[in-house]
Chains A and B, each alone.
Chain A
Amino acid sequence: MDDIVVSLKNITKRFPGIVANDRVNFELRRGEVHTLLGENGAGKSTLMNILDGIYQPDEGEIYINGKLVEIKNPSDAMRLGIGMIHQHFMLVETLTVLENVILGLAEQGLYINKKEISKRIEEVSDRYNLCINPSTKIWQLSVGEQQRVEIIKTLFRGAQILILDEPTAVLTPQEVEVSFEIYKQMIEEGKSIIFISHKLNEVMDISDRITVLRKGKYIGTVDTDKITEKELATMMVGREVLFRLERKPHERKDKVLQVSNLKALDDKGLLALNGLNLEVFSGEIYGLAGVAGNGQKILSEAIAGLRKVIDGKITIAGKDLTNASASEIFAHGVSYIPPDRLKMGLVPNLSSVDNAILRRYYKPPIYNRHLINYSEAERYAKKLIEEYDIMVPREDAPVKLLSGGNMQKLLLAREISEQPKLLIAVHPTRGLDVGATEFVRRELLKQRDNGVAVLLISEDLDEIFMISDRIGVIYEGQILDTFDIKEAKIEKVGLLMAGMKSEREFSEQVCSTV
């Protein structure tokens, strides 16, 4: 008999307007790594949030070690030995590692015995070689380190069932390898792991079994050694997928963007860009790789005119536009796809029409005799919606009701239609399904073929390698190196993302960051 620790039966969860889980089944055996595979929006996080007590299922049953249970909140889950490392970390940034670890723990008394707890945290940290100093504040840690704090938190609580929601999305390739070692160690100690991902190669590497979800539905469970990557992809997407995008040879022409010796501060007032140099030419996609929080966001904001720089120079098509306003920069041919479409790219409560005209409501023909000509605006919006095949319930419905993919299409359509010289795209495919992702990548390639200079900032290394002509690596506010795509190696780029030049330096570095 197999030793089944978790069994989810016919779980259904509805959110307004969507069935996120539709009669899903899932089973975890003791000592296995069981992957939950599915596209963005397939319902993986929802299912696991139900197991962790964050969401309540509308229907279905949960069995832990064979017993029917009701998990009303995360404390219940904790008592059952379930610990979840969320896709978006559950850490309080202004608190220290230690304070985050004891948050919600029932066992301790009122007064915090820092010494004793620190010692226990260090024990856990040493056992798994996690190298975390308990008295550091969370915001001072890199994303990879924050993830290790999350691991410590769950281990500290004695979790036997670990849920890891897309843990590798924020790590460099080498860090992924290290974390896989940690998971293996946990398995050896008798723990069981649910691993969530949509990256097929990783899934094949780490898991014993795989359960596939698609659009909220349970598709099936397979043994890893009895299936190929290609078959998995078909299960996941529901049709065959192409792994390669066709691209024409790249013709590099004039220099469009030149950034020299740029220095800028982040919101906390710390130096986020530290003398950064960068050039992007027309007709190329320049892919900027880096671990989140190394200055990518600040750089994109500085170029788009959304953040003042304290030193250095930004030249666009030969014109010095350092610290120019956003509208001035836009007028000089810069379009911008910000990292967060709902916070910066679109106005969630306004309609598709209003959002479509944001770049031209003040120009004729839409702006006419001091008023906005709405029939003209609607005509323009309809044109974009048709051309880019955007699915909207109605043109006057607020855009927050669109799916992620359609929001991104609308945003992309609006920005590209301005015929920019430079297009800055930050995480343009984050959270999109395979279809929408492919659409966005094709569109970026089309722009490049039309002679636009494209600066692509992405956390997804595969994406960068797939469509870029040149690849730069950003680390602590500087570009460490730039490669032509033909010479770029993913291992080398991965090491540079961690700020290191060689494998040896990497293995030495792992524990010296304390």
Chain B
Amino acid sequence: MTSQSSIFVTLSSTAVRSGTILLLPTLGEIFAERAGILNLGIEGMMIIGALFGFIAGFVTKNPYIGFVVGMIAGGLSALIHAFVSITLRGNQIVSGLALTIFGLGITNFFGQPWINRKFTIPVKDYAIPGLSKIPYVGQIFFHQDLFVYFSYVLMIAMWFMLFKTKLGVHLRAVGENARASDAMGVNVNRNRYFWTFFGGLLAGGGGAYLTLVYAPFWLDGITAGRGWIALALVIFAMWNPLYAFIGAYLFGGIDALQFQLQASGTTIPSSLLNMQPYLLTLIVVVAATIVLRKRHIGTPRELGEPYDREER
């Protein structure tokens, strides 16, 4: 392998890992939104998962336990949003924003003693027999850690569930027309609670992967706006789990590139480099919206709307 192509492979496989941090919350939010719940608290849930996952991993010296704890922390924090928007029928935008602010605040408080501590236990990569031998592709996608494989499996399982199973029909129905679903005997609130919780699990998992594997240390505000990017990626994926990886790895690539550039001491000011993901987010959202218009694919129809059986 020439050195150039080996740089490409290294960069790409970093991109996949960086993209996984985004892929997990994006997948979670796709399902939450499909069920009709808009959660602007992804950033908050991610950083909660990032801190508590990190602490748990640090204490138990086990990244897998850390990851699970991060997921649970994210899931529990999502329940706050679920309670406000489903049970209290509050405004989902306000509640989601509050959750983000809450997450940043609480991790700032509890994270103090952990600042700049490193998680030093390496996470093992596994080569998938057969697949890992494919030139380039094998190196990039099939020489990864278990978390990355988990995200592959999850993505396909979620797609299958959404379009091929009854649970998926129920999930789509409650976000499209809660009243009709209710009249047909689907428990709207239970579905919405569950998928909001599920979204929180994955957001927390994404955060934990960041602090346990990708950048294995704790810093205040370490998620650095990734939650917002995930929110944009949901639109980019057109609410289809199968398309989620495209955007996630694209942004992962930019992140990896930026890391590389900064490390190699480029002359471009770092503040400009840091701006990139957000600029791209904007472009991506605009482009995706135009495409969606053309193809007549829309947002889940009752996204963000509370449901009350006796109200008209």
Query: Which residues from chain A sit less than 8 Å from chain B, CB to CB?
Result: 15, 52, 54-56, 73-75, 78, 84, 86, 89-95, 99-100, 102-106, 108-112, 153, 268-269
What string of 1s and 0s marks CB contacts (under 8 Å) between B164-206 and chain A? Answer: 1111011011001101111111100000000000000000000
Whole-angstrom distance between the alpha carbons of A143 and B185 in the complex? 23
Interface pair B166/A74, CB less than 8 Å apart: no
A56, A100, A106, most chain B CB atoms within 10 A: A100
CB-contact partner of A92 in B166, B177, B293, under 8 A? B177
CA distance A15 to B309 in the complex (A): 13
A75 to B184, CA, bound (A): 7
A-B CB contact pairs (8 Å), 29 listed = A15-B310, A54-B309, A54-B310, A55-B309, A55-B310, A73-B185, A74-B183, A78-B185, A84-B183, A86-B183, A90-B184, A91-B177, A92-B173, A95-B169, A99-B172, A99-B173, A103-B184, A103-B185, A104-B170, A104-B184, A104-B185, A105-B185, A106-B185, A110-B165, A110-B167, A111-B164, A111-B166, A112-B165, A269-B293
When the two chains form their complex, are residues B166 and A90 in contact, meaning their CB atoms are under 8 A apart? no
**Interface pair A95/B296, CB less than 8 Å apart:** no
Interface contact A52-B173, CB-CB below 8 Å: no
Given contacts A55-B309, A93-B176, 11 further A-B contacts (CB under 8 A): A92-B177, A93-B301, A102-B166, A102-B169, A103-B173, A103-B184, A104-B184, A104-B186, A106-B185, A111-B164, A112-B166
Q: How distant is the Cα of A92 from the Cα of B302 in the complex, in angstroms? A: 11
- Asked if residues A94 and B164 are in contact (CB atoms below 8 Å), the reply is no
| CB–CB B296/A268 < 8 A | yes
Cα–Cα, bound, A84→B180 (Å): 12
Residues of chain B whose beta carbon lies under 8 Å from any beta carbon of chain A: 164-167, 169-170, 172-173, 176-177, 179-186, 293-294, 296, 301, 309-310
5 closest A-B pairs by CB: A104-B185, A75-B185, A104-B184, A90-B180, A90-B183
* Distance between B164 CB and nearest chain A CB, rounded to angstroms: 6
* Contact partner, B176, options A56, A78, A94, A153, Cβ 8 Å: A94
Cα-based distance from A84 to B184 in the complex (angstroms): 10
CA distance A361 to B310 in the complex (A): 37
Per DSSP, chain A at the interface is: loop
Q: Complex formed: what's the CA distance from A105 to B186 in Å?
A: 8
Complex alpha-carbon distance, A387 and B294, angstroms: 49
Chain A minimum-CB-distance residue to B170: A103
Instruction: List chain B residues, Cβ under 8 A from A153.
Output: 184
Contacts of A112 in B (CB 8 A): 164-166, 169
**Chain A residue contacts of B186, Cβ below 8 A:** 103-104
- In angstroms, Cα B179 to Cα A52, docked, is 13
- Cα A86 to Cα B182 in complex, Å, equals 13
Closest Cβ of chain B to A176, distance in Å, is 24
Say whether A92 contacts B185, CB under 8 Å: no
Which residues does chain B contribute within 8 Å of A74, judged by CB atoms?
A: 182-185
Expressed in whole angstroms, the Cα–Cα distance for A92 and B296 within the complex equals 16
Cβ-neighbour of B179 out of A15, A78, A90, A100 (below 8 A): A90
Contact B181 A103 (CB under 8 A): yes
Per the bound structure, the CA–CA distance linking A112 and B169 in Å amounts to 9
How far in angstroms is the closest Cβ of chain A from B309?
A: 6
Q: Which residues of B contact A55 (CB under 8 A)?
A: 309-310
Q: From the candidates B165, B167, B296, name the one contacting A269 in the complex (CB within 8 A).
A: B296
Closest B-chain residue to A110, C-beta based?
A: B165
With most chain A CB atoms within 10 A of its CB, the pick from B167, B181, B185, B186 is: B185
Q: How far is the CA of A365 from the CA of B181 in the complex (A)?
A: 51
Q: Name the CB-closest residue of B to A91.
A: B180
B183 cross-chain contacts in A, Cβ below 8 A: 52, 54, 74, 84, 86, 90
Residues of chain B within 8 A of A54, CB atoms compared: 182-183, 309-310
Cβ contacts under 8 Å, A56 to chain B: 310
- Nearest CB of chain B from residue A104's CB, rounded to whole Å: 4
What separation, in Å, do the CA atoms of A86 and B180 have in the docked complex? 10
**Which residue in B167, B172, B294, B310 is a CB contact (below 8 Å) of A94?**
B172
Return chain B residues, CB-CB under 8 Å to A89. 180
Q: Return the chain A residue nearest B293 by Cβ.
A: A269
The answer to whether A94 and B301 have CB atoms under 8 Å apart is yes
CA distance A111 to B176 in the complex (A): 21
Residues of B within 8 A of A269 (CB): 293-294, 296
For the complex, what is the distance from the CA of A225 to the CA of B69, rounded to whole Å?
Answer: 72
Complex Cα distance, B166 from A430, in Å, reads 37
Nearest chain B CB to A340 CB, angstrom units: 13
For B309, the chain A residues whose CB sits under 8 A away are 54-55
CB distance from B44 to the nearest CB of A (A): 30
For B173, give its contact among A95, A106, A108, A110 (CB under 8 Å): A95
Residues of A within 8 A of B181 (CB): 92, 103-104
**What A residues does B166 contact at CB under 8 A?**
102, 105, 108-112
CA distance A55 to B181 in the complex (A): 15
* Bound CA span A108–B170, Å: 13
Chain B nearest Cβ from A87, distance in angstroms = 12
Which residues of the other chain, A, contact B164 by a CB distance below 8 angstroms? 111-112
Q: Determine the chain A residues whose CB is within 8 A of the CB of B310 once the complex forms.
A: 15, 54-56
Cα A208 to Cα B310 in complex, Å, equals 32
Return the chain B residue nearest A55 by Cβ.
B310
CA A91 to CA B177, docked complex, whole Å:
8
- Distance in Å: Cβ of B158 to nearest Cβ of chain A: 14
The residue in chain A whose Cβ has the minimal distance to the Cβ of B309 is: A54
Q: Are the C-beta atoms of B176 and A95 separated by less than 8 Å?
A: yes
User: How long is the Cα–Cα vector from A54 to B308 in the complex, in angstroms?
Assistant: 11
Residues in B with CB closer than 8 Å to A94 are 172, 176, 301
